A and B are shown apart, each in its own frame.
Chain A
Amino acid sequence: MTGINISNKSDKPIYQQLFEQISSQILNGRLKSDFNLPAIRTAAKELRISVITVKKAWEELERMELIYSVAGKGCFISALSEDELQQKRNEIIKHQWIKDSHFYRDLGTTKEELSNLVKNNYSETGM
């Protein structure tokens, strides 16, 4: 894992922060299949967050079929083909976009303005 950073100041619920950070590490290939995620109570202690919060994030990952659980052994990263990874990635991107689009709609942003915004201000490398 490349690290998890939980912020109490963020507007996002903590379970969501955890879900997003782990799912992106799975989808960009940094977390390999069959990697054993830490036990819920251990993760809670280490990240100084509540047990219920970690449970909720793990449940969400399992619902997305990004991880699977083995009784008594914990949770593992699912073995996903390139196609499946791509499909899940698209699903998450779309889901996030639907959420974010409310903000732009409220401001009366047109489709054209948005596509110009992306053209002029979005860089794939984040530079």
Chain B
Amino acid sequence: MILKVENLRKEYETFLLDDISFELEEGYIMGFIGSNGAGKTTTLKGILGMIQTEAGDVEIFGKNFKENEIAIKQDIAFMTGSSDYYLRRKIRVITKVVKSFYPNWNDAVYENYLRKFKLDPEKKVMELSQGMRVKYSLALALSHEAKLIILDEPTSGLDPVARDDLLEIFQELVEDGQKSVLFSTHITSDLEKCADYITYINEGKIIKSTSKDELLDSFRLVNGSEEDLKTMKQDLISYKINSFGFLGLIDTAKLSRYPEINSEAPSLDDIMIYHAKREETHAEAAV
């Protein structure tokens, strides 16, 4: 395993990240999904020791992260959506500072990304659009031959062409079977294309961490009349009523209890929407 997270816990006054566990093998791409505020960024920062966690163990490259933090970080690329560089500095100058931290920095790789992303090293950060800033952060993150690439919302702010380019870069990175990419996103179509594994977090808890196909397979979208709804309500994750009857999400394991009901495969969006709706319903019931 290139990354193993066990029982990570972080307490805030109004939010609890609880019992976060998942693992990722060498050579694969894992998408990390969840709605805004589900705990994605907190988890990623917790893994990399950027925030204090109350409990949990992280193993990276087979070694305990806390005990080997400095050595391990040389082989990790990390990028967060909100990278605030000095706005009035030129790209060239910022890069010079960043590269001095990495003995494995590879100028050829970096130059290649600059060309690919059409970044001009003489431009100041303030002169770059949001999308170009994301691309610059990526060029910085990917140029020291990291083996584990952890990116927080790398595709946000990118247009469809740039997103597709980025997914291709991810697949090139893992092609040799040695490196892995973990990236959070809420643009699920990106994951439907290239992710091997998906970890789904909701309200600070992991709902599932498994291969994408298995995740999609473990839920079914069902539809039926309001009569049907009465008999199966308690088994649905949540449902929506419309003028034809209802639409709902169910655990595939429970589907066999209702042999007559219509069902189809959900999309990742469907899975997220119905889980979020359940939380809403519970919150309302509590008021």
Contact = CB atoms under 8 A, between A and B. Distances in A.
B212 A50 contact: yes
Interface stretch (B41-49, B89-97, B167-175): B167-175
A49 to B, nearest CB: 7
A5 to B, nearest CB: 14
B168 A52 contact: no
B270 to A, nearest CB: 13
B154 interface: no
Contacts of A11: 264-265
Nearest to B171: A45
A44 B173 CA distance: 12
Contacts of B264: 11
B175 A8 contact: no
A44 B213 contact: no
Given A8-B189, A48-B193, A49-B193, A15 B171 contact: no
Contacts of A48: 164, 167-168, 171, 193-194
A37 to B, nearest CB: 16
B174 A41 contact: yes
B6 to A, nearest CB: 23
Interface string B160-197: 00001001100110111100000000000100111111
Contacts of B29: 50-51
Contact of A42 (B175, B193, B212): B175
Interface string B118-130: 0000000000000
Interface in B200-236: 211-213
Contacts of B168: 45, 48
B197 to A, nearest CB: 8
B167 A52 contact: no
Interface residues on B, range: 20 to 34
A45 B174 CA distance: 9
A51 B28 CA distance: 7
A45 B213 contact: no
A45 B177 CA distance: 12
Contacts of A32: none
Contact of B213 (A8, A41, A42, A52): A52
A106 to B, nearest CB: 10
A49 B212 CA distance: 11
A41 B178 CA distance: 12
B265 A41 contact: no
B174 A53 contact: no
Interface string A9-31: 00101010000000000000000
A56 interface: yes
B211 A52 contact: yes
A57 to B, nearest CB: 11
27 contacts: A8-B189, A8-B192, A11-B265, A13-B265, A41-B27, A41-B171, A41-B175, A41-B176, A41-B177, A44-B171, A44-B194, A45-B171, A45-B172, A45-B175, A48-B164, A48-B167, A48-B168, A48-B171, A48-B193, A49-B193, A49-B194, A50-B29, A50-B194, A50-B196, A51-B29, A52-B211, A52-B212
Give 10 closest A-B pairs by Cβ, nearest first: A45-B171, A50-B196, A41-B175, A52-B196, A48-B193, A51-B196, A52-B211, A8-B192, A45-B175, A50-B195
Given A50-B194, A51-B27, 4 more contacts: A8-B193, A41-B175, A45-B168, A53-B213
